[in-house]
Structure 1
Amino acid sequence: MTLAILQVRMTTLRLPGKALAPLRGEPMVWRQLERIRQARTVGKVVVATSDEPADDILTAFLLSRGQTVFRGSAGDLTGRFMRCLEAAGPVAHVVRLKGDSPFVDPGIIDATVRLARVSGADYTSNRVQRSYPRGLEVEVAATAALWDSARSVDPVTAAQVSPMAQLRARPDRWRHAHLVAARDWSGLDWRIKTRADLEFAGGVYAALHAADPAFSMTDVLDLLQGRQDIARWAA
């Protein structure tokens, strides 16, 4: 099975609470989950968050919708990630996704997972050799490599850096594969960091979501070519 872990926190410096900010009538985190579930290669989706009180409201909302949530210490990145993985049951690959990315593309998730399976790489992503817009990052790791990574670092480093990041940083130790787009769109940034970013996401969703809730990166790019009123928010 391939497990997707969506890492989400309510406490962000620039836009606190953005995970529950409305996006076409639903919280942003729910729109992300809708899109992730469209990926055909993903067997299970878990939201990973902290056990801090600020994340209680996020957890309560997700549980009320039947979404699996794992909570762990905010100060132990490796421990939280690996306990989440362990609780999910037998898993061959893990997909890591971030909570500031409402344009996460199920097609790109599938392409990354398939590359991981075919290549046999320990770590596969579209973020090391950047060609996709920021906010569409997908990281996939073989479970055995994640456990190896988690066991290989000292406790201080393990608390501060996730095992996925450790795999990414050591291509000399763990084999990498890279998903590269047909063109270089790495100069675009579709992450939600500010109120203006949220306005941009709202405009895109208003234009595309009703016709196709799983709209693709290409759909967004095409939209921006003809809608300068939306494109200006992405500048």
Structure 2
Amino acid sequence: MRIVAIIQARIGSTRLPGKVLRPLIDQTVLAHVIARCVAVPSVTKVIVATSTEIGDQAIYDEAIAQGVECYRGSENNVLSRYYEAAKLAQADVIIRITSDCPLLDPSIVEQLIQHFKQTACDYARIGLDVFPRGLDAEIFTMDALQQAYNNGRSDFEREHVTTYFQNNREKFKFEVFRKGENYSKYRLTLDTIEDWVLIENIYQQLYRGDIFGWLEVRQLLQDQLNLALINAHVEQKHNNV
């Protein structure tokens, strides 16, 4: 089974422009996300999927500098971009990752993969009613992606990769991976300046050149209660990266 992690990334962002190429300690945000995907044991290949817009040349350059391939496709039809990237990578199974998650935990993604295999489902995702946003990932078969690509009609289904799955649940076997206590109150994704302040603070305290995981982040947030308040008021918006 060829499991490919596809990281969707664009330079544009309405709330925090250029966020994925911001320097976070010693590397860009995107570089940290790539490293964390590469560290997932069952992942065969990592590829970045960006657009053909001129500004996204910087995304392409950073992906190549980090030693992974980069597919450039439609800016707004992200479903098409994913499908073409998955074909390029000869994927059997795709893990969808967004580039604004520099705290992604490889061990949790690996657990999601194992859950996907054990349940023999078409689609599975991290349960955001248990895990914080920013640790999220989705996994689905190439056959499921092919169905979405062939049959997704609305602009919203083309703009958001897995919306077709959500709108046609009767056609797919769904799973949600949940484990442990509910920590969904925390927000660990990067979309606003407040998110940036929190994530940079976490990296300054925990990063020593190696990947640290959710358990270390959780302990830090429990020890320093003021940290989670930095972005507690931020509302999540749909992200087309």
TM-score by length of 1: 0.91
Q: Secondary structure at the match of 1:184?
A: coil
Partner of 2:18: 17
Q: Secondary structure at the match of 1:45?
A: strand
Q: Secondary structure at the match of 1:172?
A: helix
Partner of 2:235: none
Q: Secondary structure at the match of 2:68?
A: coil
Deviation, 1:159, is 3.4
Alpha-carbon distance in 2 for matches of 1:22, 1:161 = 27
Deviation, 1:228, is 4.3
5+ residue gaps, structure 2: 233-241
Deviation, 1:36, is 1.3
CA RMSD of aligned residues (A): 1.8
Partner of 2:125: 125
Q: Kindly tell me the number of residue pairs found equivalent between the two proteins.
A: 231
Alignment of 1:93-104 (within 5 A): 93-104=93-104
On the 8 A contact 2:186/2:228 being kept in 1, the answer is no
75-84 or 36-45, which moves further after superposition? 75-84
On the 8 A contact 1:79/1:158 being kept in 2, the answer is no
Partner of 1:177: 175
Residues 1:208 and 1:93: Cα distance change in structure 2 (over 3 Å): same
* Amino acid of the structure 1 residue aligned with 2:97: L
TM-score by length of 2: 0.89
5+ residue gaps, structure 1: none
Deviation, 1:158, is 5.2
Q: Secondary structure at the match of 2:170?
A: coil
Partner of 2:217: 220
Partner of 1:198: 196
Deviation, 1:99, is 1.3
Q: Secondary structure at the match of 1:147?
A: helix
Partner of 1:108: 108
* Amino acid of the structure 1 residue aligned with 2:32: R
Residues 1:138 and 1:159: Cα distance change in structure 2 (over 3 Å): closer
Alpha-carbon distance in 2 for matches of 1:201, 1:55 = 23
Q: Secondary structure at the match of 2:17?
A: coil
Query: What is the percent sequence identity of the aligned residues?
Result: 24
Q: Secondary structure at the match of 1:69?
A: strand
